[in-house]
Amino acid sequence: MRNPVYHFEIPVMDMDRAVRFYESVFGWALDQRTVDGYAMAFFPRAEDLPGASGALAKGDVYVPSNTGSIIYFDVDDIDATLRRVGAQGGAVLYPKTHVGPCGYVAEISDSEGNRIGLTAAGD
């Protein structure tokens, strides 16, 4: 069986602002392209490793929201990531919380107003 999620898209209103946010907060280099007439910025994807990847997406069908599905990004240092969020125009919506053997979670609002989850290993 394969992992059920292959690709996700995070709606944005201002692609340049959103790319700056994600590259600065997470340290990833995003690959900007136009796909089917829509501006997209793709997150890194390792074809030979488990998990999904996706893209920021801008266009008439993409509307940022903090009330829909929540995507969780796995990070090495949740505290450092949360500190960078505010500096890049985002906000912490749910503080770092220990969730037992799964480690820690937190939720943020990105530069576009989307609710994004964070997860990190812990004791």
Note the pLDDT of residue 102: 87
The answer to whether 32 touches 23, Cβ cutoff 8 Å, is no
User: Residues 72-112: pLDDT tens digits?
Assistant: 999 999 999 999 999 999 999 999 999 998 899 999 999 99
Q: With 90 as the cut, is the pLDDT of residue 4 above it?
A: no
**Confidence class of residue 123 from pLDDT cuts 50, 70 and 90?**
low
pTM: 0.92
**Torsion sign (Cα): 67, 73, 77, 80:** negative
Number of helices (H), then strands (E), belonging to the chain: the values are 2, 8
- For residues 14-27, give the mean pLDDT: 97
Residue 57 has pLDDT above 80, yes or no: yes
Q: Which domains does the chain have, with CATH numbers?
A: 7-120 (3.10.180.10)
Q: How many CB atoms lie within 10 A of CB 7?
A: 11
- The predicted pLDDT at position 22 comes to 98
For residue 1, the model assigns a pLDDT of 62
Would you say how long the chain is, in residues? Answer: 123
